[in-house]
Chains A and B, each alone.
Chain A
């Protein structure tokens, strides 16, 4: 029973990070109709930026969020303006390949800049844990889960309650109609990509104390983020949050009860099953 609880709570904590990455991916897809294959690489950049700030300025990884998020936001904005803006209306597969190329450039660029050595952000609390209901939980992951929840709430308030947020949702719902209503849809695309990148960067900063940092780390996050987003329904930010938690728990349960090596096989199998049974995702409408 304790083992089950441990697996579920541990999975929930990692799932929070997946939720954040997935929410960014989902927002980008909703507004731009592009699946960003470089999402994991943006997480990787967030991790390296956190590592730089920690190593050279001794900035705490959780505090570095206030630097990492704006920097990644600007990067996302620039990438949209330079690359994706020109691809509007292009074949979906070409858009996918474009972001794949971007991912390769980012990960190999990071390899040139930082070499392929494993980096660590070893804070005093990196390996400390605390007990909750008889279950040991990682302290940094718990802090990152709380921050994730805060960021997710802020995102929700922004999308649901502000004029700009409403304009973003309108663009996602019907680009042409939004344009006819006087919304600057190209600006909304940039904004959405910027926010998506900032969320990925935030996830990178939040997991920096508990993960190895290396140039190829992004790939696995990209794949996880897809699974998360498809589970929740492409384009649905709330769905992505739910999907993230489900994937975190699935991963942790299969690591506990099946095998650590096969946990991702279980995750991808679940993904295929959901894709076949409910192609529109758990919350999404079937297309």
Chain B
């Protein structure tokens, strides 16, 4: 255990971030930080199936949107948000199991296209099912009931700090799940599948079992990211929650940071969110122009992402 200091640094880092709302009182920087944390959650969720297992889903908006619609629709029917969020993950996992059992046997480009088709079907169904989703007009998210413990009100969910702490908790949880997977049999098997499916198969790794497990975990986490995003933004419609943009964002965060690494989604989410914030200011509604250019530049010049750059620099300093 020569690197025993690493967990200490991580705990200290998270504690430092957790203290931020005490010092930062204005809404804008807190909002940006919530954006970063939500992007970390979504990126880390995608990283499990896309990064470790190498199955490039470009349809994660499906699970993100299921999480968002579950919590909001159930909240509108009077169910407490925690149960709604939990229900969202279960529904997303069930859909992932169904989708995965059908599409995960497809390879390369075919899997990518199938994942987009599934997300697109869900978006169109959400536009159609007006009695549940209010169609393209969208839903304004209702107020959260205050959280009470033994008669004391802990928070009434006004202002940004409560959402900041929920987003921080979710981001830490998602990264922790990545770390656990990376160091267990599941992670090793997934990486073997990513490197060479046929070789992994010949070594006796049940491909479809492990790929489905990865998609299921990934979908359940993405649903949580969707649930929290929808309640934080407090408005949702099929295009903003189930659109291709969401799926591309999940992939882009990981590409920027480093696909299949534990810290990649964190680094990617920070760079992505800050850049998007700047672009939004200067390009307003065309801000995706900057993201597209960024995506092209990242793939041409940084194919292994920021973490790949870090590894390369470290190797150079050692040599």
Contacts A93-B112, A259-B128, A275-B106: A108 and B289 contacting too (C-beta < 8 A)?
yes
Taking a contact as CB atoms under 8 Å apart, the answer to whether B292 and A96 are in contact is no
B300: A residues at CB distance < 8 A: 83, 86-87, 98
Q: Which of A78-117 contact B (CB under 8 A)?
A: 83, 86-87, 90-94, 96-98, 100-109, 111-112, 116
Taking a contact as CB atoms under 8 Å apart, the answer to whether B117 and A90 are in contact is no
B288: A residues at CB distance < 8 A: 104, 107-108
Checking A86, A87, A269, A287 against B121 with a beta-carbon cut-off of 8 angstroms, the contacting residue is A269
Taking a contact as CB atoms under 8 Å apart, the answer to whether A101 and B296 are in contact is yes
Nearest CB of chain A from residue B247's CB, rounded to whole Å? 10
Give Cα A234 to B112, complex, Å. 14
Taking a contact as CB atoms under 8 Å apart, the answer to whether A97 and B285 are in contact is no
Checking B56, B107, B118, B291 against A272 with a beta-carbon cut-off of 8 angstroms, the contacting residue is B118
Contacts A108-B286, A111-B285, A265-B125: A98 and B120 contacting too (C-beta < 8 A)?
no
Taken residue by residue from 107 to 125, chain B's Cβ proximity to chain A (1 for < 8 Å, 0 otherwise) reads as: 1111011101110110011
Contacts A103-B292, A104-B288, A105-B292: A275 and B120 contacting too (C-beta < 8 A)?
no
Taking a contact as CB atoms under 8 Å apart, the answer to whether A96 and B296 are in contact is no
Taking a contact as CB atoms under 8 Å apart, the answer to whether B118 and A112 are in contact is no
Taken residue by residue from 165 to 207, chain B's Cβ proximity to chain A (1 for < 8 Å, 0 otherwise) reads as: 0000000000000000000000000000000000000000000
Taking a contact as CB atoms under 8 Å apart, the answer to whether A101 and B299 are in contact is yes
B295: A residues at CB distance < 8 A: 97-98, 100-101, 104
Which residue of A has the minimal Cβ distance to B289?
A: A108
Nearest CB of chain A from residue B226's CB, rounded to whole Å? 21
Main secondary structure of the interface of B (DSSP, over half): helix
B102: A residues at CB distance < 8 A: 272, 276
B113: A residues at CB distance < 8 A: 35, 226, 230, 271, 275
Nearest CB of chain A from residue B61's CB, rounded to whole Å? 13
Checking A102, A116, A275 against B114 with a beta-carbon cut-off of 8 angstroms, the contacting residue is A275
A86: B residues at CB distance < 8 A: 300
The reply on B246 being an interface residue by CB < 8 A is: no
Q: Which of A246-287 contact B (CB under 8 A)?
A: 259, 261-262, 264-265, 268-269, 271-272, 275-276, 279, 287
Contacts A112-B286, A264-B124: A102 and B296 contacting too (C-beta < 8 A)?
yes
Give Cα A142 to B303, complex, Å. 46
Which residue of A has the minimal Cβ distance to B292?
A: A104
Size category, A interface: 35 or more
Taking a contact as CB atoms under 8 Å apart, the answer to whether A90 and B303 are in contact is yes
Which residue of A has the minimal Cβ distance to B248?
A: A100
Give Cα A94 to B286, complex, Å. 23
Taking a contact as CB atoms under 8 Å apart, the answer to whether B296 and A98 are in contact is yes
Give Cα A275 to B106, complex, Å. 8
Taken residue by residue from 80 to 113, chain B's Cβ proximity to chain A (1 for < 8 Å, 0 otherwise) reads as: 0000000000000000000000110011111011
B293: A residues at CB distance < 8 A: 101, 105
The reply on A227 being an interface residue by CB < 8 A is: yes
The reply on A219 being an interface residue by CB < 8 A is: yes
Taking a contact as CB atoms under 8 Å apart, the answer to whether B289 and A104 are in contact is yes
A230: B residues at CB distance < 8 A: 110, 113
Give Cα A265 to B125, complex, Å. 7
A112: B residues at CB distance < 8 A: 283, 286, 289
Taking a contact as CB atoms under 8 Å apart, the answer to whether B124 and A97 are in contact is no
Taking a contact as CB atoms under 8 Å apart, the answer to whether A111 and B299 are in contact is no
Taking a contact as CB atoms under 8 Å apart, the answer to whether B299 and A261 are in contact is no
The reply on A223 being an interface residue by CB < 8 A is: yes
Contacts A103-B292, A259-B128, A272-B118: A111 and B109 contacting too (C-beta < 8 A)?
no
Can you list 23 A-B contacts (CB < 8 A)? A35-B109, A87-B300, A93-B112, A97-B255, A97-B299, A98-B296, A100-B58, A104-B292, A105-B289, A105-B292, A105-B293, A105-B296, A106-B292, A111-B286, A223-B116, A259-B128, A262-B125, A262-B128, A268-B117, A268-B118, A272-B117, A276-B106, A279-B106
